[in-house]
């Protein structure tokens, strides 16, 4: 092989190696497919108390910290509400998220002793649970919070981190 032929061969090999390295770099940096390659969402719930209704655990202590959530992920937490008044109360819980980032994406179900108080989007829960929780004077009731991102959701949750305060709204019953 002549000198010029050797040079051409060496250059070709060098170019091939360089192109291979660039291709490997691009492949390594490419986000993974599906939902695994995007930032997950996270949800945190707290229960607020007022003078009439006590909550345990009460804010700022969280009752639910979801961890990484992607479509199909579920998280749940529990807390207790107690009526401190001398009246029978109908208590509804209203969500006050610190942002609207997951309003239409996250679904939330609140239930107490097997009765579903509401099952709707986080946005709808801003209006309060559809069914009230009836509490006699001095009575307490456990409440379970289940939050999830529906499996069919494709986008709109990535990297969203929302804290939701559940605030009691009570009405005196006769």
Partner 1 sequence: MKTTTKVLLTALCVGALGSLAAMGVFGAFSATTTNAGNTITAGTVSIADNDAGAAMYSITNAKPGESVSKCIKVTYTGSLDADVHIYTTSTIGALGQYVELTITPGTQTTPTFPSCTGFTPDSGGALYSGTLANFATAKNSYANGVVDYPGTGTKWAANESVVYQVTATLQSSAPEAAQGATTGAHTFTWEARNQ
Least Å from the CB of residue 58 to partner 1: 5
Extract the runs of DSSP E, i.e. beta strands, from 62-160.
Answer: 62-65, 74-83, 88-97, 107-112, 115-121, 133-135, 140-148
DSSP assignment of 5-19 equals HHHHHHHHHHHHHHH
The count of residues in the chain is 174
Least Å from the CB of residue 9 to partner 1: 23
Least Å from the CB of residue 145 to partner 1: 19
Least Å from the CB of residue 23 to partner 1: 30
Cis check: omega of the bond before 60, within 30 degrees of 0: yes
Of 151 and 172, CB closest to partner 1:
172
Of 33 and 86, CB closest to partner 1:
86
Binding site for partner 1 (CB under 8 A): 48-52, 54, 58-60, 82-87, 89, 137-138, 170, 172
Of 48 and 130, CB closest to partner 1:
48
> 1: Cβ–Cβ under 8 A, 6 or more apart, which residues?
9
């Amino acid at each position: 092989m002549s000198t010029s032929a050797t040079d051409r061969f060496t250059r070709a090999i060098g170019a091939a190696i360089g192109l291979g390295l660039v291709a490997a770099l691009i492949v390594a940096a490419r986000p993974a497919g599906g939902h695994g390659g995007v930032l997950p969402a996270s949800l945190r719930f707290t229960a607020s108390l007022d003078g009439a209704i006590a909550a345990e655990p009460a804010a700022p202590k969280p009752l639910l910290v979801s961890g990484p959530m992607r479509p199909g992920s579920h998280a749940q937490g529990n807390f207790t509400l107690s009526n401190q008044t001398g009246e029978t109360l109908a208590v509804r819980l209203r969500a006050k998220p610190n942002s609207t980032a997951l309003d239409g994406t996250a679904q939330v179900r609140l239930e107490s002793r097997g009765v579903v108080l509401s099952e709707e989007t986080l946005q709808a829960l801003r209006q309060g649970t559809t069914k009230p929780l009836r509490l006699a004077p001095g009575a307490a009731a456990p409440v379970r919070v289940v939050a999830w991102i529906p499996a069919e959701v494709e986008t709109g949750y990535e990297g969203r981190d929302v804290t939701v305060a559940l605030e009691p709204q009570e009405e005196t019953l006769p």
